[in-house]
Amino acid sequence: MLIFSGLLCTSTWLTWNQLDFHVRSDLQHQYRSIVKTTAEQAAQTAKPLIQSDDRLSLQVYAKESIEKRKLDSITFYSPSQEVLAYANRAGAAHITQRVTSSAEITSGSTALGSVSVVLSTEPLEKILNQTSSQIVLIALAVWVLGLILLRSLFHVYEQKVAAMAKKIQNPIATKHQAPDTRNFIELQPIATELEAFIQKNTEKNNLENSLNQLLNHQIASQISKESAPRESQIQPFHASVLYVRASGLDQLKSNLPNHEAAKLVSEYVAIVQQAAKLYNGFVEVQANGLAVIFGAPQKMNEHCLHAVCAASFLYRLLNNYNSQRIVQAKALLKFQIAIHSGDVYCFDTPEQASMAVFGDIIFEAAQLANLAKAGQILLSENARNEPDLTNKVHCKGPYNLSTSSFTCPLTYQVSSLDDNYNTLIERQVKHIASLRQPA
């Protein structure tokens, strides 16, 4: 009995170790494959941005990848290993268990650069620990069932030995007795248990495949949630677009080291985002600037007035920012701003995980911003005729402005806002400036 128990325990232990090794190896391979696929997808998405040398959009895409794909860090390199864009998750520097994968960015036979993706293995380790616990429990259950079966068989063997000894001791008395069917009756429940054990042993052979299917589902739900198909909706909105271009930004970046250029772009985006957030605007990154949409994807009654107030607030923030750059003997950042109103369409998922606003008015607002001079707020005819600006915004014009590729026959320039709005904006600027003062 002890020998059989030892053999069963050893066999169970070896089976558990082999199964645990195969499951761990398969899951680690799948995890590395997911990281590699993520790097290849990032390379394909970033390819047109690198070809157009649009580092602003590349930086924004890097930050969005950290948030949406749950990455620890992502870095885009030029062919000479110059850092084009970089973003990392807060606290990622303290993660020691990680998987890194790289992908080349090419156009035909021309190398455009590369991308490196880093993903923590903490979610994988949690799944592997849970898997090991499940396998241990299953192995213990098989071992206990085997002990029960061995004990039952040993008990039957003892009874048979006792019966044979009794017949030897009293052969005449047992000669004329009816056949003893007791052992056969007692063996029936044991045979049932043996059949169940064989069935469980057969199912155990498929345990690895079942566990792999279960764990693959867990990885897919925890790591690649954003890749699941979602039902989307496209809705029309009447909105206003505040388009902001950083005039001469490319020239400023070309004269700065990479880390200072990235910092300048981040500060430019942060100023616009601060104004957009205060007046409930939604920021869309464009090829040559930032488009702030008011009235989509959330409907807004006074969307054009919000856009004008945000533009005025934006210039005041810019003045404070440039005053600090003057003290630091750095070049000033200049904005070209224009506002246009019309119909847009919002592509939105039910979970609000991703959204995009598109329409002709964004392109027209960008063209109008090209005509603006530093410090001006230009309004298209559509924006000027919005009813929410009546008696609240004072304008000059109309003017006939045009370039070689774009003509805007009626354009207005904001000269001032109603005193109540001017006072409110001044208070907001002073409040933000006071928050930045050292304690």
Name the amino acid, one letter, at 18: Q
Which tokens in the block code for residue 433?
């400036």
Please give the C-alpha separations between residue 426 and each of 130, 305, 423, in angstroms, as whole numbers. 57, 16, 5
Statement: residue 19 has pLDDT above 80: no
Average pLDDT on 369-380 reads: 91
Query: What mean pLDDT comes out for the span 381-397?
Result: 93
Strands 233-247 and 334-348: antiparallel
d(CA 420, CA 90): 41
Q: Does 321 or 7 have the greater pLDDT score?
A: 321
Lowest-pLDDT range of 61-70, 274-283, 309-318, 387-396: 61-70
On average, the pLDDT of the chain sits at: 76
The Cα-based distances of 313 to 95, 171, 276, 427 in angstroms read 40, 114, 10, 10
d(CA 214, CA 27) in angstroms, rounded, equals 11
Q: pLDDT category, 228, cuts 50, 70, 90? A: very low
Q: In whole angstroms, what is the distance from residue 70 CA to residue 82 CA?
A: 25
- Look at residue 414 in the predicted model and tell me its pLDDT: 95
pLDDT score for 175: 46
In angstroms, the CA 42 to CA 61 distance is 9
Q: Which of 35-49, 142-156, 194-208 has the lowest mean pLDDT?
A: 194-208
Q: What is the pLDDT of residue 241?
A: 95
Q: Which carries the bigger pLDDT value, residue 319 or residue 351? A: 319
Confidence label for 309 from pLDDT (cuts 50, 70 and 90): very high
Position 221 confidence tier, pLDDT thresholds 50, 70, 90: low
What pTM was computed for the model?
0.48
Tell me what the mean pLDDT of segment 21-42 comes to: 78
Band (pLDDT 50/70/90 cuts) for residue 173 is very low
Q: Which residue has the higher pLDDT, 355 or 48?
A: 48
Choose between 344 and 233: higher pLDDT: 344
The single-letter DSSP state of residue 373 is P
User: Is the confidence at residue 118, as pLDDT, over 80?
Assistant: yes
pLDDT of 327 higher than 60 = yes
Q: Above 50 in pLDDT, residue 226?
A: no
The residue that leads in pLDDT, 74 or 96, is: 74
In angstroms, rounded to a whole number, what is the distance separating the alpha carbons of residues 93 and 76? 18
Per the listing, tokens 């008011």 go with 294
Q: Which residue has the higher pLDDT, 171 or 362?
A: 362
Q: Is 105 helix (H, G, I), strand (E, B) or coil?
A: strand
